[in-house]
Chains A and B, each alone.
Chain A
Amino acid sequence: MNKSNYIRLFANCIPVKGAKNVIVCDIQRSTYFEIDMVLHDILVAHSNKTIEEIIEFYGKEYEDEILNQLDQLQKEELVHLTTENHLFPKLDLTWETPSVITNMIIEHGDYFQEKETEIVNDLIELGVQYLELRFYVDVSNETLQNILQTIQKTKIVGIYLVLQNFPYEDIDKFLIENQRVVNILLSNATDAEDERYKDYNKISVVKHKIVNNKNCGIICQNSFQVNLDLFTESQQFNSCLNKKLSIIENGDIKNCPSIPEALGNIKETTLTEIFDSKEEDVNKYWNITKDQIEVCKDCEFRYICTDCRAFRESDNIYSKPLKCNYNPYNGKWEDNLRGSK
């Protein structure tokens, strides 16, 4: 390693420092690496020093250790050497979207048949990109097919289904004909259903019965996503509630189905009317970033996890998500998940 060079993280490898641990988020390869706190300082605080100057700063006795660590980073393709340090600017972390609402959650209810046309028009008008369609009771294939056919008019690129039953015999045919369906969560599944769907990537089964939106809000490592969109959105906005709108079973319109505040009811108004007349209420939570939330602001995972404001540790709007059991001060996941039951 030429010690007269500068060592730089690739622009897509961004370090995030927590109270105890540091991770480097590789937003291009969708993964993260844990690194030592001292190494973080070398890469961030001493980024304007050559390797030689860094060794000089820490002392000759640490030379082998520093070189070894930098070598590891280079092998993992997280850093590169350069003599022209100034030629590598940081990535622009501004997040933008053309949609008024990006994510929509619809709990199927009695209101739907009557208001279907207005809802679909609003999905188009608001530029909704992703839709989660939840059924808390069994659904017939005619009902599901009608809804999916109507949604084809929209610009939605991904549909998530939460079902109590899968009303189709031919799974392959259903998936081919409904390519916008990117995931199906089958609740209350039997062992036979578990076996039947095990080879389908798009279908996940849980034996637990999802009866209402109280089942939401669990934050775990499986829910982490490392990508440019989430990383940049988290810098400025709430990673869960930003640009989200929901209709719950009784027709109430909310930011998220699990939060108590209703903005109106779909039987009396439309989504666009709500957005135009109550914009401040709609985006009450949108600008709460992880950097403002207690405990989360000291967590190294804060830009790759999605927040939850519906289930919080206290009434304080900035308190930690109740269903997160990670402690960033000791770097451990606790066994008991508070509030998950």
Chain B
Amino acid sequence: MKTKKLNKKGALKESIEHLENQLPLFFKNPEIKEQSAKIDVSNFLGLDEFPVYNSKRSACRPCYKPISKIHFINE
């Protein structure tokens, strides 16, 4: 009786290789080359000199009350 060889050597490997192309990036094991180049942020307005306070950029807001009443002048 002739049996069908389902697990033909090499066939499975080929199919996985095909699948791997469709896998999301995090399943793959890409080669990572360490980048040591500095990023120039001088022209980038989203960052300031002190990164720890960057979050404050979005928090900039007026005071909930007049900080002084010098702004209210009767002209």
Q: Which residues of A contact B (CB under 8 A)?
A: 103, 105, 129-132, 134, 149, 152-153, 155, 157-158, 160, 162, 176-177, 179-180, 182-183, 185, 204, 206-208, 210, 213, 215-220, 222-223, 225, 227, 229-230, 233, 239-240, 256-257, 306, 308, 323, 337, 340
Contacts A180-B60, A182-B60, A183-B62; A216 near B67 (Cβ below 8 A): no
Name A215's contact: one of B56, B65, B73 (CB within 8 Å).
Answer: B73
Query: A162, B69: Cβ atoms under 8 Å?
Result: no
Interface residues, chain B, with chain A CB atoms under 8 Å away: 45, 48-50, 53, 56-57, 59-75
Give chain B residues whose Cβ lies under 8 Å from the Cβ of A220: 72, 74
The distance in angstroms between the C-alpha atoms of A152 and B47, with both chains bound, is 11
Q: Bound state CA distance, A213 and B70, in angstroms?
A: 8
Are A155 and B56 also in contact (CB < 8 A) when A130-B63, A176-B45, A206-B75 are?
yes
- Which chain B residues border A160 with CB–CB below 8 Å? 63, 67-68, 71
Among A105, A131, A182, A230, which residue has its beta carbon within 8 angstroms of that of B65? A230
A225 partner residues in chain B, CB cutoff 8 A: 64-66
Q: How far is the CA of A4 from the CA of B61 in the complex (A)?
A: 45
Whole-angstrom CA separation of A180 from B55 in the bound complex? 12
The answer to whether B60 touches A157, judged by C-beta atoms less than 8 angstroms apart, is: yes
Contact present for A179 and B60 (CB under 8 Å): yes
Interchain pairs with CB closer than 8 A, number: 98
A308 near B69 (CB under 8 angstroms)? yes
Query: Nearest Cβ distance between residue A312 and chain B, in whole angstroms?
Result: 14
Q: Given A153-B50, A155-B53, A157-B59, are A306 and B64 neighbors across the interface (CB < 8 Å)?
A: no
| Cα distance, A155 to B50, chains bound together (Å) | 11
Query: Within the assembled complex, what's the spacing in Å between the Cα atoms of A257 and B69?
Result: 11
Further pairs besides A152-B50, A158-B60: 12, Cβ < 8 Å: A105-B67, A129-B63, A134-B70, A157-B59, A160-B63, A162-B71, A179-B57, A180-B60, A210-B70, A219-B72, A227-B64, A230-B65
Check A208 against B59 for contact (C-beta < 8 Å): no
In the complex the two chains form, is A340's CB within 8 Å of B74's CB? yes
Knowing A105-B68, A130-B67, A207-B75, the reply to whether A152 touches B48 (Cβ < 8 A) is yes
> In the bound complex, how far is the Cα of B13 from the Cα of A217, in angstroms?
82
